[in-house]
Homo-oligomer: A and B are copies of this chain.
Amino acid sequence: MFEPIEYADANDDVRAVFDAIKSTRDIPDVNNFWKYLANDPATLKRTWESLAQVMAPGALDPLVKEMIYIAISMSNNCEYCIKSHSASARKQGMSDDMLKELMAVVGMANETNALVNAYRVEVDAALR
């Protein structure tokens, strides 16, 4: 449907975002996600700026945010998202043991979410 757009073939708006991603992350080239979004420069720019805002350090550590991101992507079965954010989390210090525990929680949360739906569990008065 759409092909990834390389830096050499990109217009100035796209190059400006690519440059921002590369300098922020200190990487020589951007991932395919950005090259596909480059087909729609407005969405590229908005998504990069939103992501930069959302994933920035704040009350939560950036690594914790990456792990939440990975968990959602596993639950949604988005292979690309799992792999790209796992690579990013690795750089920020996620160990194998941390990833394994994360995966166990993802599995368990999906099981208990399903059990809650199945039993139609009513919210406790104390939790409302």
Contact = CB atoms under 8 A, between A and B. Distances in A.
A86 B124 CA distance: 13
A80 B50 contact: no
A78 to B, nearest CB: 4
A55 B111 CA distance: 14
A90 B114 CA distance: 21
A68 to B, nearest CB: 5
Give the copy number. Answer: 6
Interface of A: 1-2, 4, 31-33, 36-37, 39-40, 42-43, 46-47, 49-51, 53-55, 58-60, 64-65, 67-69, 71-84, 86-87, 95-124, 126-128
16 contacts: A32-B122, A33-B112, A36-B121, A46-B50, A50-B50, A59-B95, A59-B98, A60-B67, A71-B72, A76-B110, A83-B120, A83-B123, A87-B126, A110-B110, A110-B114, A111-B114
